[in-house]
């Protein structure tokens, strides 16, 4: 942070303490665990108008600073829910203890993404109190990002629409850096769809295979086709699409029975070459061909996690790149790597960029974040806010 900006913004609110307090909240998705209550209490104390936007048992928080229609509206989106810890005996520390060892804070959610929420909340507090901007800040925090619930961030957006609230730009605080903080930000994500396949034949005795129709060879061949085929070679903005086999199941307890049915699940990550409908048609065409060849029936259902989306580089992404460079000395690459995020819900609302910590330990045992990274991320967020509200245009 430059001396001029450091003087203008009094950074008294500690993001590390807030991160630790959030990690101690056992908010395993979709349990709220007290994390949103903690944020609501803190932000309300500092002049933010906080509203719980809970829907169908899912907890969400929308905190707004500023009013009227003057100036820009900056939105931040994050989540306080975390994935399960797995086997607690595999951890070298209390998963919800927020222990700090050798400058590293440990605990579930330390990386994904309670540090980012803490960094932005404290940055926003310090920023509006030191130099109140001509505009509005919105913090849209969900308690159910990890479940991909339609009652998480989409519920907040529905509430905002009902209130006449609209952000001009949204920053999502997911871990985006690859090896060191500031080396990458995201301006898009591949789409994701999971396909659940069922192959049905005719059950029979394994000693008389001619009297049965074994569905397993058909399933094996179909999965081989999926593995051998190439969806695409990638595009200017995205890596190649991928199809991954995640389960194969027969549920057959007997050694001498040809099963009537077997199942498999595949997860497909697709780039901007495809829509989910086109991907499903691609799967169906191959399944139909195999079914005809093997004399079986192949049916499927699917779960769409999100379509591929992309925010073209522009003024907002450049502003964030410049802020990161000022604080870290490096210009982050614009990437579309990784899985899905709640940015997919926001992209139709306004331009979206994702910028956050390194993600080396997210969802792992002994998830952790360097304390220095939390401070750096807060500094980046303060500079983003400063530059956003102090430039005539983007």
Q: Is the pTM of this model over 0.95?
A: no
Residue of 21, 32, 40, 81 with catalytic role: 81
Mean pLDDT is lowest, of 3-12, 92-101, 286-295, 383-392, for 3-12
Do residue 165 and residue 288 come from a single domain?
Answer: no
Last residue of a domain, one of 306, 337, 352: 306
CATH of the domain at 76: 3.40.630.10
Q: Is residue 394 part of a domain?
A: no
Decide: 64 and 138 in contact? Cβ < 8 Å.
yes
Residues 3-59 have pLDDT tens digits of 445 434 555 789 999 999 999 999 999 999 999 999 999 999 999 999 999 999 999
60 belongs to a structural domain: yes
* Cα–Cα nearest to 185, from 312, 394, 357: 357
> Is 82 inside any structural domain?
yes
Residues 361 and 237 in one domain: no
| Domain count along the chain | 2
Known active-site residue 233: no
Tell me, yes or no, whether 258 lies in a domain: yes
> Looking at the structure, do residues 37 and 115 belong to the same domain, yes or no?
yes
Instruction: Specify if 378 maps to a domain.
Output: yes
Are 129 and 42 part of one and the same domain? yes
In a domain, 267, yes or no: yes
What pLDDT shows up at residue 282?
A: 98
Within this chain, do residues 241 and 252 fall inside the same structural domain, yes or no? yes
- Single out the residue in 250, 272, 306 at which a domain terminates: 306
Rounded Cα gap, residues 171 and 221, in angstroms: 44
Residues 145 and 278 in one domain: no
Is the pLDDT at 366 greater than 70? The verdict is: yes
Tell whether 207 and 313 lie within a shared domain.
no
Residue 71 domain-assigned (yes or no): yes
Task: Answer yes or no: is 91 within a domain.
Answer: yes
Looking up residue 218, the CATH number of its domain turns out to be: 3.30.70.360
307 is catalytic: no
Shared-domain flag, residues 301 and 242: yes
Query: Domain containing 355: what range?
Result: 3-189+308-389
Considering 306, 322, 338, which residue would you say is the last residue of a domain?
306
Q: Which of 21, 40, 145, 272 is catalytic?
A: 145
Using the structure block, give the residue that is written with the tokens 């129709």.
Answer: 213
Residues 58 and 112 in one domain: yes
Predicted confidence at residue 337, as pLDDT, reads 86
Clarify whether residues 43 and 185 are in a common domain.
Answer: yes
Same domain, 178 and 198: no
Do residues 209 and 103 both lie within one domain?
no
pLDDT at residue 212 greater than cutoff 90: yes
218-270 pLDDT, tens digit per residue, is: 999 999 999 999 999 999 999 999 999 999 999 999 999 999 999 999 999 99
pLDDT value for 248:
97
């Amino acid at each position: 942070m430059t001396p001029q900006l450091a003087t203008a913004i009094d950074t008294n609110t500690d993001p590390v303490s807030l991160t630790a307090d959030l990690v101690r909240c056992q908010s395993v998705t979709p349990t709220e665990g007290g994390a949103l209550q903690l944020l609501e209490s803190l932000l309300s104390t500092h002049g933010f108008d906080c509203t719980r936007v809970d829907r169908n048992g899912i907890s969400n928080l929308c905190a707004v600073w500023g009013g009227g229609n003057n100036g820009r509206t900056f939105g931040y989106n994050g989540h306080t829910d975390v994935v399960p810890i797995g086997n607690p005996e595999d951890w070298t520390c209390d998963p919800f203890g927020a222990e700090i060892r050798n400058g590293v804070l440990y605990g579930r959610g330390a990386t994904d993404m309670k540090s980012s929420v803490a960094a932005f909340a404290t940055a926003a507090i310090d920023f509006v109190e030191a130099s109140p901007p001509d505009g509005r800040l919105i913090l849209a925090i969900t308690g159910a990002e990890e479940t991909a619930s339609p009652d998480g961030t989409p519920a907040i957006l529905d509430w905002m629409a009902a209130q006449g609230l609209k952000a001009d730009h949204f920053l999502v605080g997911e871990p985006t850096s690859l090896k060191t903080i500031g080396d990458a930000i995201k301006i898009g994500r591949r789409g994701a769809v999971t396909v659940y396949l069922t192959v049905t034949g005719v059950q029979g005795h394994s000693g008389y295979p001619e009297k049965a129709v074994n569905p397993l060879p058909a399933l094996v061949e179909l999965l081989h086709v999926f593995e051998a085929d190439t969806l695409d070679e990638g595009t200017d903005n995205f890596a190649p699409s991928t199809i991954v086999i995640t389960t194969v199941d027969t549920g057959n307890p007997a050694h001498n029975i040809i099963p009537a049915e077997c199942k498999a699940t595949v997860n497909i990550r697709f780039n901007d070459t495809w829509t989910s409908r086109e991907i499903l048609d691609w799967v169906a065409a191959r399944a139909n061909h195999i079914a005809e060849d093997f004399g079986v029936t192949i049916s499927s259902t699917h779960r769409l996690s999100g379509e591929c989306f992309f925010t073209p580089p522009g003024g907002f992404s450049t502003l964030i790149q410049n802020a990161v460079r000022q604080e870290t000395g490096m210009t982050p690459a614009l990437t579309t790597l990784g899985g899905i995020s709640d940015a997919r819900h926001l992209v139709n609302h306004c331009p979206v960029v994702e910028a956050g910590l390194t993600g080396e330990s997210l969802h792992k045992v002994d998830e952790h974040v360097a304390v220095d990274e939390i401070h750096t991320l807060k500094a980046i967020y303060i500079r983003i806010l400063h530059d956003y509200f102090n430039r005539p245009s983007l």
